[in-house]
Structure formats: C-alpha cells, structure tokens
Amino acid sequence: MQGRRLATTEELIAIVSPGSDDVVARLAAWADDRGIRLSTVDVGEPIDDVYDGSRATLGITIGGDGTFLEGIKTFAPRGVPQLGVNTGTLAFLARVEPEDLEAALDEVLRGRAAIDSRQQVAVRGPGIDATGINDVTIEHVPPDDPIDRKITRLDVYADDEYVGEFEGTGIAVSTPTGSTGISLSANGPIHYPANNHTLQLVPLHTHQLGVRPIVVSPETELRIRTQGPASLLVDGGRAHALLEEGEEVLVTGAEKLAHVVHTSYDDHFFTAIAKKLGWDVRDVDEPPRIPAAGTDAEVEGDDFLERARTIATEAAEAAGEPLRELHGQVESVAVKSDKSDIVTEADHQANRIITTVIENEFPDHGIVSEERPRDVREDGYTWVVDPLDGTGNFAHGNPNYSISIALLEGEYPVVGVVYVPETDELFSAIAGQGARRDGDPIETTDRDHLDESMLISGYDPDGSFLTRFYQETRGVRRLGSTALNLCYLASGSADATWEYDTYPWDVAAGLVIAREAGARLTDERGEPFVFELETEGRSALLGSNGPLHPALLAHLEGDDAVRDR
C-alpha cells in the first residue's frame, strides 16, 4: 500500500488501552480541527458499529505492543492501515511517542508517511483457524506428575517433503515481525520486518545441537503432526488450542498482509532493538531525523521537474491501488447499473488521491481533470489528470486501462507519467531528458515500410483507418486507452498510432513520453500536433516512429473519408 494514499484519509478509528485519556483528547482535537471523523473503541471490543468500509480509514492504536497486536487482529482483515502510538513500555511495534502525535498525523495526512506490509501467519487444524502477526507455537503440555516426561516430539513436513522429527519443548513458526521474540531466544536471526514476506521454523529447547531455524516462503505449507498432547498458541495466546496425539495442523503465510504506517517521528526498528535488546553494533541514541518523502524546500529547473515526476509517480501508484481493488469486483457484478457505480467510484477515488497529493505538494499549481472544475495557471504550472483512461475496458474487466498525469509549463507539457495498474508498468518522461519504462530508457522503432509494421488505432468511428491499413500492415490493434497507445508507440511495441478525436487529459502525458522516445506527432495532414488545453473542437493525432510517417500520410491523404471528416 502506498503512503500517498493516506492523504485522502476521511476517518480515524482508534483502539484505546486504559489510561490513555490525555492522548485520546489530543487526537480528538486534532481530528476536529481538520474535519476528520474519529471513533474510539476500547481494546478488545469490536469495531463493527463504527466501521463500514465506505470511507478512507486510518486505524490507530493507543497503548503498548499488546494493543498494537489487537489492532492488527482488527484492522488487517479489513485492509485498513494502522499507526501505533506508544503509551506502553516495550514499543517494538507501537513506536510513535505521544508527544509526537500531532506532527506524525500531519505527516500522514500530507501523504508523506510510509506504509510497509507485514507478513502474517495462518494456522488451521482441530479446534483452530486463526491468524497472527508474530508467531504460532506448538509446545508440550506440562505433565500432572513433575517426574513425567517434559518434552514433545513433532513431525514436520514442508509441502510434500519430510523435514524431520523435532524433539524438545516444541517449535515456533514466526513471521519477521515475531523474529525478535521466541525465535531470537532459540539462536534464530533477527529479520527486518518491513516488506519481508517470509516465515521461520524455529526449534524450541531442542535436544540436538545441529538443529537450526529454517526460513521458508509464505506459500510453503508446513504440516505439523503431534506424537503426543501439545498446546498451540497464536501470538502468545490470542488464539489457542489443545492438540491430541496424531493430530495435524497446517501453518502457512496468511493471505492478508498487515499494513503498518511509519512516519519520520517513529522510534525506528534498529533503535528499538538497540534500546530493548542491547543490540550493540550501534549507539542507542537515535540518529538525526530524516524528513519523510517530500519537502517544502524550493527547487528549480531540472531538480524541480524531477521532483514533479517523482510526486506524479507516487500519486499514480497510490491511485492504482483502489483501481485494482475495484477492477477485481467488476466481473463478479451482473447488473449493468452496479458496474457503472463501480466505475464511477473508481474514477472518483483515483482522482481524489491524485489531486490531493498534488495540492499537498504544489499548492500554487493549477489542476485540470474530467472530475473537477478547471484551474489553469497560464503563467505558471498546471497539472492535467486522467485518473482512469480506458473506462470501457475497466467496466468490462479488461486490464488495458491506465492513469495519466502531466505537468504543463504554461501551455506546454513538460512532465508525463502513465501508470498501468494491472501490469504495474510505469512510463514517464521529462522534456529534454528522454523517456523511461520502469526506469529504463525507451525509444521508438526504426521501421519504414508499412508491410513490416504494426499500428494502433484509437477512436476510429467508421473504421476508415482500420480498413485502409489492415491489409497493408501486420495488423491494426485497438487497445481502448489513448495514453497507453502513445506509450506503446514510445516503447516500440507499435510503430504508429492514430486518434480521430482526442481530449487534452487523454494525451498530455503520452505526448511528453512519445516525443522524448523519438516519435513524430502530427495531425492527419502532417502539420505538427499542437497541444491545446482550452480547445473545444476535436484534435486528430497521428503518431509514428518517424521513418514510417510519410507512408502513413500518403495513405491518409489518399482516403477522402479520413481526410475530409
């Protein structure tokens, strides 16, 4: 999950431990000043009465690590990101101190916090079906008679492969978040938990010196079979079961990740373990605070344009998340009106994220998009946004849709970013600095014969372009997204593209990317294509790799149906 998405937070739900009234009062005052809804629930209580999923929600825990774990249990299944405010003692997980509460939340609301995903562990078996953020432990049951045997034997399989028999107190399957607890006491390594999606099989009080922890992927199915009674605990007892001899449990990575919010005011992970565990490879003192992404410093020239590209990239990737989520719902909806509602919601959410991020970072810039009144800065900078280019594709479950964001200097596009949520492709360019796809330079093809070329057609109302060129080329494709058409031209996936009718938000970003990749862009008569933000009429666009352009124009000029429309 992208931290920029938090800029559109509409609601806070706080899970509160006893004795935190002062912090709650400060949180309430902060939320009230910003018009954000706040609901509080006591730790251990459900949030069903205050959470309905229709608003962009941030979860907050106010307490120690135990409260934080309760928050994970509550928020993670709902996909709600969580920020921990520490009023406890240990603070491995909840690492924002109360005195930094308002500053940390301001950073969150400006979209400048980070969100890391935490792997969870899931266990299913007799009497148990649970998820945890730390670990699953399976240990011996203390005997009634103190002279009876005090060890347990467990057979472990990884997928279909027999790992072996573990003899001792038991075993733990820990996540990277839980690696500082039980696994550390068994000579297991400390795993840096942020975006680390692994599991660790840890022997507890083993009777064999050669037995060591094993790291597996979250997809690995660990089957654990008891040779006697055993006690199973999840996250230290938040879920538990008693297992009989011969019973088997399945432990694997949970499908749902936990999303943990971090700000520059956090007591960082390695500082926490230095303070709490005597980690002596560094001083305990916190190093100087590094500001979160984005600053208020004034930058000019190329540095400013690079920053603009970075902000546009972060905004596009953040907006792509709700689009992917809603796109996955489209094919399961049978009623046309319901699909229209999903598309409308997708457009709205993506546009709100993008424009909020831009307004936070560049408050003096104008913004133009389909979803809001035009705000054009003729003597300054204006952003042109299409939050969902390819709505028809989106509505039918087709993955060919994109997000298009451009920056104009006056009326000239100077930065372009096009993001494809379903393939996670990112196209971008800065005027005069070349074009990129996922950070790598791209350029157009050099083909100059139609019979060797593949073309892309945009809006072609009566099929004239298709009819004229289909037999002359290796094919004419129609993707349904103007921004994608220009990006595929730029990256060499097509040799030319035709658009009978364009709108400014359709082409602004793609123009920068195509031009910087070496494309030639004209109207249907070969005159240079002129981007006009305030145009009321149609603008035809013919784009090619350059060498192919004369042949394309010759065919267009010979077709009265195309030329005179």
**Active site residue ranges:** 65
Integer Cα distance of 549 and 560 in angstroms: 18
Taking alpha carbons only, the member of 14, 138, 25, 126 closest to residue 80 is 14
Residue ranges of alpha helices (H) inside 88-232 are 101-109, 182-185
Integer Cα distance of 164 and 155 in angstroms: 6
Pairing of strands 135-140, 170-174: antiparallel
**Are residues 45 and 72 in contact, defined by beta-carbon separation less than 8 angstroms?**
no
Radius of gyration for the alpha carbons in the chain, expressed in angstroms and rounded: 28
Query: What is the SS3 assignment for 500?
Result: coil
Q: Length of the chain, please?
A: 565
Integer Cα distance of 257 and 263 in angstroms: 19
Would you say 135 is a known binding-site residue?
Answer: yes
Would you say 370 is a known binding-site residue?
Answer: yes
Sheet with 82-86, edge to edge strand ranges: 37-42, 11-16, 57-63, 82-86, 258-262, 114-118
Would you say 134 is a known binding-site residue?
Answer: yes
Would you say 66 is a known binding-site residue?
Answer: yes
- 428 Cα distance to chain centroid: 18
Q: Which residue has the tokens 């003597």?
A: 379
Query: What is the SS3 assignment for 184?
Result: helix
Which stretches does DSSP call E strand in 235-365? 239-243, 248-253, 258-262
Residue ranges of alpha helices (H) inside 331-439 are 336-361, 391-395
Q: Write 329-333 long-range contacts (CB < 8 A, 24+).
A: 330/394, 330/395, 330/396, 330/397, 331/397
Taking alpha carbons only, the member of 138, 220, 222, 120 closest to residue 178 is 120
- 489 Cα distance to chain centroid: 27
The token pair that represents 407 in the structure block: 């920056």
Q: Does the CA dihedral 32-293-260-83 come out positive or negative?
A: negative
For 502, how many CA atoms within 13 A lie in the half-sphere containing its CB?
32
Q: Which residue has the tokens 């793609």?
A: 510
Residues 6+ apart with CB under 8 A from 65: 88, 90, 91, 92, 93, 94
Would you say 199 is a known binding-site residue?
Answer: no
Which stretches does DSSP call E strand in 281-345? none
Would you say 386 is a known binding-site residue?
Answer: yes
For 200, how many CA atoms within 13 A lie in the half-sphere containing its CB?
28
Would you say 388 is a known binding-site residue?
Answer: yes
Would you say 22 is a known binding-site residue?
Answer: no
Pairing of strands 366-369, 239-243: unpaired
**Are residues 344 and 451 in contact, defined by beta-carbon separation less than 8 angstroms?**
no
**Are residues 500 and 540 in contact, defined by beta-carbon separation less than 8 angstroms?**
yes
Would you say 150 is a known binding-site residue?
Answer: yes
Backbone angles phi, psi at 125, to 5 degrees: 175, -170
Taking alpha carbons only, the member of 237, 283, 302 closest to residue 73 is 237
Amino acid at 263: T
The token pair that represents 187 in the structure block: 């000579």
Q: Specify binding-site residues for Mg(2+).
A: 370, 386, 388-389, 506
Q: Specify binding-site residues.
A: 65-66, 134-135, 150, 370, 386, 388-389, 506
Q: Specify binding-site residues for NAD(+).
A: 65-66, 134-135, 150
